[in-house]
Structure 1
C-alpha cells in the first residue's frame, strides 16, 4: 500500500482511535473484511502469546546460566558475551523483513516457520558440544524469535477491533513485562532442580514441547493465509533489506558488547550503522517514488500516533530493561544471593506489571495517551523510591526493602507498554500491520541494547575505579531515561489535545 493508501484508510475511519468507528465500537473482524468476528480469535491470541513469551523469556533466562555454561563448555568470556548478545542481534535484524513477509504471504505461515526454527535451534543449543556451536545456535534462535514476533502484533490487528483490540494488546503487554522479569527466576528454578552441570541445557530444551504445541494449535486456530494471484510478483526490496540490516547491525553490535563489559567493537561502527540507516530511508523514498513496494513504507511515520508512540517505546525500553540487568547482577555479586533468590527479588515488578497491563488494555480506549503518561510518572516515582532504599540499606535485607518500590514501578510499567503499543499501531492499515509491528519492536531492541550499554557502563565504573558495583548510579541513569520517555509522552499528549480542539 502506498502512502496515499495509508492516509485513505485513516480517512474512511477504518483505523480510528481505540474503540471508535464513527462514534461506536467496531466489531472484531478477520482480514477478509466480512464484518464477522472470527470465533477462534481468542484461542489464536493465546497461541501467539505463549510463543512470544517463549522467545522473549530466552532474552533473560540465559543470564543466570552463564557461569554453568562457562564451566560445562570451557567457554571464554567472549563466547558468553555472544551467547547473550548474538541472540539480541539476530532478533533485531529479522524483525522488519519478517513482518513484511508476513504481510504478503500470510502471518500464520511465517509464524509457524518461526516457531519450528526456534524449536530446532533450542534443541541445538541444549545439545551443543562446544561454545562455538552454542553461539551459532543462539544466533539462529534469535533470528527465529525475530521472525515470529511481528506476526503476533499483526495478528492482533487483523483479528481484533475496538475495545477488544485494546484488551488483546493489554495481554501482549503483560506477556512482554512478565517474560522480561521472570527469566532469571525460571532459569534459577531449572538450575536448582536439575543441577548446574546439566541444568543449563534444559533451559533451552524446555522450549521443545512448547514449540510443538504452538505449531499444532497455530495450524488449527490461526487464520488461513490470504489468497494470492499465482502470477503476481512479490517485491522483496533486497537493497532495502541489506541497508536496514547493515544499519541495525552497526548500531547494535558496539552497544550490546559495551553493555556486557566487552570492548571488541569500536564505537565508530555505530556511526557507520547510522549512515546505513540514513541511506536506507533515502532508498525507501526513492523506491516508493518509482512505484515499487518498499520494505518500509515511510508513510507509516505520517500515520497519526505512530512516530511519537515508537519514540516513547524505544526510550522507555532503554530505561526499564536496565533495572533487571543491574539488580540481578548486584544481588548475586554484591550481596551473595543465589540465582533463584536474585530472580525472586525482582518479581514484584513483574507482578505489578502483569496486573496493570491487562487493566491498561481495557482503559486505553477511554484515556488514550493520558494513561501512558500517568504510567510513566508512576514508574519514575518507583525508581526514585528505589534510589532512596539503596542509599539506606546495605545488607541482605535489601531484597525485602525493594519489594515495595519495585511493585510501584511495575504497576506503572503495565500502564505504559500495552497501551503505548495499542496507540502506536491503532491507525496502521491491517495489510501493513506486520511491518509496523516489526519496526516498532526493532526500535525497542535498539533501545534495550543502548540502555543496557549506558546503564552497564555506569554500573561497572565503580569496579574500574577500584571500588564496588555502582547500582545506585546505574539506576539513576535508568530513571533519567524513563523521565525522557515521560517528556516525549507528555509532548504527544499536548499535541493530541491541541489537534482535538482544532476543526477537522
Structure 2
C-alpha cells in the first residue's frame, strides 16, 4: 500500500493511510448498524405483538416504515454530504438514529414504536450515502475496490445475520421484553460511532465552493415519487384491493417530472441528482443490477424466516442460525471480490450472480419431496454456496457502478444507487411474498411448497440481474473493439 501523498485523492489533506482506514472502520460500523435494523426486527415481531398488543397493520408499519423512510431520504442526504461535507451528515444522522433507537426500545404503544421507526429509517438514510461518498473521496483504484469489498461484506452480513442477532437478544432478554434489546443495542455503539465519526470523517474540503442551494423543489418531487412507488409495495399485505397499485404509475409520473426539473435546474445550479450519470453505462447497468439483485436477495430471508418460525415452529434463535451459512459465505467472498474486482470487472459480478442462482436452485432441489432431516441442515450447504456468490455481487457491483462517478457527485450518485436497492427490496418482498402466501392458500398450508415456489421466483429475478450483467459485458467488449 503506497503512502505517497502526491497520489492521494483530492480532498484528503491530513489523511494518511492509517486515518483513512480508521474512518472507513467507523463508517462500516455505522452502516452495519443501520442496515441490520432492516432485518433484525423481523424475528422480534411476535415479542412486540405480545408486549404492545399490536394489530397486524401496526406490525407491518414497524417493519416497512423503516424501509420506506430509509429509501426516501437517500438521494437528498447524499447531495447534502456532497455540498456541505460528509462529516456533518454522518454525525447528524447517527445522533438521530441513536436517539430514535432508544425511543423505540422505550415504546409503550404501537403508535410510539411506529413513529420511532419512521424517524429511525430516515436517520439511517442520512448516514449511508455519507459512507459510500467517503469511500469515493478517500480511496482510489485497487484500494477503493478493497474498501467497497468491506462495505459489501457489511451489507451482506447485516442483512443475513440480522435474524440470528435478533434471536440471541430476544433469548437474552426474554420473550416479553427481549425485543427492546434489539433497539437498545444500537445506543452504546451509536454514541461511540458519533464521537469517532466527528474526529475521523472528512469535512468539506477547504476551499471547495458551497454548491449553491440544495434544490428543495427537486427534493419534493423525488420524495413524492419515491413514496408513491414504495407505499403500495411495503403495504401490499395490509392494503386490500387493486386501487393501491394506481399509486405506482402516479409515482412514476412524479419521478419523470423530477427528471425534467433536474434537467432544467442543472442549467444554472448544481442539481440534486445529475442525470448525466445515467449516460455512464457502468452506472446505469450497475444500478439496474443492484435493483434486481436486491429484489431477489432480500425476499429470500423474508420468506425463509416465515417458513422456519411459523411453518416449522423454529425459535427466533434457531431461525437466525439457519441463515448463518449464507452470511458466512457472503462475508468471505466479499473480501475477495473487493480485492479482485478491478482486475476482472463485470464478469466477476456475472459469475457471482450465476453462483447465487445455482445455490438457490440446489436449495429448491434438496427441499423437494419428502424431507429426511432438519431443513436448516439440508439448506446449509446450498445457502453457503449462494452466500459465496452474493459476496461476489454486492461489493463488486457497487465498485463498478460508482467507478466513473465524479467525487463531487459521489454522495448523490450513491444515494440513487441505494434508492434503487431499497425499491428492489420492497418490490421483491411484495412479489415473492404474494406468491408465497397465495401458494400457501392454494395448498392449504403446505409451507414447504410455498417456500420452494417462492424461492424459484427469487432465483428468476436474480437471473434477470445476470442477464443485465451479461449485456454490460457484451457492450463493453463491442465498444472496446470499436475503439481499437
Which TM class, normalised by the smaller chain length? over 0.9
Relative distance call for 1:118 and 1:31 in structure 2 (3 A) is farther
Q: Alignment partner for residue 467 of structure 2, among 487, 494, 503?
A: 487
The SS at the match of 1:316 is helix
Q: For residue 187 of structure 2, what is the aligned residue in structure 1? A: 208
**Residue matched to 1:279:** 257
SS at match of 1:124: helix
CA-CA distance at 1:34 after TM superposition: 5.9
Q: 1:310 aligns with which of 287, 296, 299?
A: 287
Query: How many residue pairs were aligned?
Result: 478
Alignment of 1:288-437 (within 5 A): 288-289=266-267, 291-394=268-371, 397-437=374-414
Q: Go from structure 1 to structure 2 and tell me whether the alpha carbon gap of 1:37 and 1:426 turns closer, same or farther (over 3 Å shift).
A: farther
Q: SS state of the match for residue 176, structure 2? A: helix
The alpha carbon displacement at 1:36 in A equals: 7.4
Quote the residue 1:41 is aligned against: 20
| Contact preservation (8 Å) 1:190, 1:203 | yes
Q: Distance in 2 between matches of 1:27 and 1:157?
A: 17
Q: CA deviation at 1:303?
A: 2.6
2:67 equivalent to 1:91? no
Q: Which residue of 2 aligns with 1:239?
A: 217
2:17 corresponds to 1:58: no
Q: Cα distance, 1:222 vs. partner?
A: 1.7
Shift in Å, 1:323 = 1.0
Could you tell me how far apart the structure 1 residues matched to 2:14 and 2:464 are? 41
Once the two structures are TM-superposed, the CA of residue 398 in structure 1 deviates from its matched residue by 1.5
1:286: how far off?
Answer: 1.6
* Deviation of the 1:446 alpha carbon: 0.1
Question: 2:64 and 2:152 mapped to 1: Cα distance?
Answer: 23
Q: Matches of 1:35 and 1:44 in 2, distance apart?
A: 12
Pair 1:462 & 2:439 matched: yes
Corresponding position: 1:447 with 2:424: yes
More deviation, 218-227/410-419: 218-227
TM-score by length of 2: 0.95
Contact conserved, 1:93 with 1:249, CA < 8 A, in 2?
Answer: yes
8 Å Cα contact 1:173-1:357 kept in structure 2: yes
Aligned to 2:415: 438
Q: Which moved more, 1:235-244 or 1:82-91?
A: 235-244
Name the CA distance, whole Å, in 2 between partners of 1:224 and 1:282. Answer: 32
Once the 2 structures are TM-superposed, how far is the Cα of residue 261 of structure 1 from its aligned partner?
A: 5.6
Which structure 1 segments of 5+ residues have no match?
1-18, 20-24
| Corresponding residue to 1:134 among 110, 113, 123 | 113
Structure 1 CA distance for aligned equivalents of residues 199 and 215 of structure 2: 32
Do structure 1's residue 478 and structure 2's residue 451 form an aligned pair? no
Q: How far has the Cα of 1:33 moved from its partner?
A: 6.2
Q: What residue in structure 2 maps to residue 101 of structure 1?
A: 80
Q: Decide whether the 8 Å contact of 2:83 with 2:211 is kept in 1.
A: no
Show CA shifts across 1:75-130 (max 9, x none).
Answer: 11111000011000000000000000000000011100010000000011011111
Deviation at 1:312, TM superposition (A): 0.6
Tell me if structure 1 keeps the 8 A contact 2:212–2:269.
no
Contact 2:12–2:202 (CA under 8 A) maintained in structure 1: no
Please tell me whether the aligned partners of residues 386 and 405 of structure 1 are also in contact (alpha carbons under 8 angstroms).
yes
Q: Deviations over 1:279-325 (max 9, x none)?
A: 11111112123x22211110111134110111111101001111111
Structure 1 residues 103 and 202, CA gap change in structure 2 (3 angstroms): same
- Identify the residue that residue 478 of structure 2 maps to in structure 1: 498
**Residues 286, 401 of structure 2: 8 Å contact kept:** yes
Please give the alpha-carbon distance, in whole angstroms, between the structure 2 residues aligned to 1:46 and 1:486.
31
Following the alignment from structure 2 to structure 1, what is the Cα–Cα distance between the partners of residues 435 and 246? 20
Equivalence map 1:156-175=2 (5 Å): 156-175=135-154
The normalised TM-score by structure 1 is: 0.91
Offset at residue 263 of structure 1 (A): 3.0
Cα distance, 1:68 vs. partner?
0.9
Change over 3 Å in CA distance of 1:138–1:415 after alignment to 2: same
